[in-house]
Structure formats: C-alpha cells, structure tokens
Amino acid sequence: MIRPTQPEDTTAILAIAKAIGFQSDELEVLSEMLVDTFNGNREQFWFTDDDQGPVGVAYCASERMTTGTWNLLFLAVHPEHQGQGRGTALVHYVEQVLTAQGVRQLLVETSGLPSFKRTQTFYRQCGYEAEARIREFYAAGDDKIVYRKVLKAES
C-alpha cells in the first residue's frame, strides 16, 4: 500500500537509505528534508510503500522558478524487497499524483557510472528518456544523467 509518508516513518526511511548505502552525512540531509516536509513545505511530497512497515519511499519536489516541472529526488526500496515491482509502483504513484495536479513533466537524475546501469535501465523502462548528461557532476569521472518524462502535454 502506497501512502503519504508520516513523521513516524522517519526512522524506517533512514534505515532503508542506510541499507542501500547512504553514508551518515547523506542520512543527515535526508532527515532534514523529511523535517522540512513535516513542517509544512507543500512544494514537495514523500510517499511510503507500506508492507506492515515502510519498505520503500519516494520523494519529489517542484523545480523552483519553473511552471509544472518537478524532480523525483529520492527513490529507494529496501534490498530485501527489491525486484517485486515496488519501485515501479512508487514511480507510477508519484506520476499519478503529480499529473492530477497539472504537473507537466517529471525529471529524475542518476549517476552515469557503470554500477548505476540497473538504475538507468529502470528509469528507461518506466518511460523516461535521457535528456541531458553533465560530465563529472558528482565527482571526477562520475557524470549525472537527467531523465525526463512528460506527464501532461501542453494544450
């Protein structure tokens, strides 16, 4: 069951992030992002895949100074629950919520490293097209690939 994330999900979400390899500084930033949402920031959403406790999470936020462009900034499924379609379900849920609100397009970024080929393939299978590549964005030799999906065509 996918539902809006609640403050009591924070510990489980951080545990999911740690299980997929987040470091302590990244976990701290993630925690701050959650607090910002729970303090009333309406330009972002967190959704939790709940299977008798959180097993997956998605976070998206509006792209400032644009009209109708949002970013999917965090998508994670606990390793014990990967390969069950949960990531795809979370992405589709985010897309449905944003489409209902009139959002035009959703962006998502990932690393261009060979170790991220599975992630790159995942987004392509979800209907995203590679839109841009920023060389050495994350670190020397680690490009950023930006994927894009149109949610609502302009009238």
- Report pLDDT digits (tens) over 34-76: 998 898 877 889 999 998 899 999 999 999 999 999 999 999 9
CA torsion, ordered 34, 137, 150, 2, to nearest 10 deg: -30
- What is the phi/psi pair of residue 96, to 5°? -65, -45
Confirm if 149 and 95 have CB atoms less than 8 A apart: yes
pLDDT tens sequence across 11-20 = 999 999 999 9
Please tell me the pTM assigned to this model. 0.91
Residue keyed to tokens 């996918």: 2
In the DSSP assignment, the letter for residue 103 is -
What pLDDT is attached to residue 99? 96
Q: Residue 155 pLDDT > 80, yes or no?
A: no
pLDDT tens sequence across 120-151 = 999 999 999 999 999 999 999 999 999 999 99
**Average pLDDT for 109-125:** 96
Topology adopted by domain 2-150: Aminopeptidase (3.40.630)
Rounded Cα distance, 147 and 133, in Å = 9
85 C-beta neighbours (distance < 10 Å), count: 11
Confirm if 114 and 97 have CB atoms less than 8 A apart: no
Tokens of 25: 């500084």
The pLDDT-based confidence of 152 (bands split at 50, 70, 90) is confident
Q: Where are the beta strands (DSSP E) in 63-122?
A: 69-77, 105-111
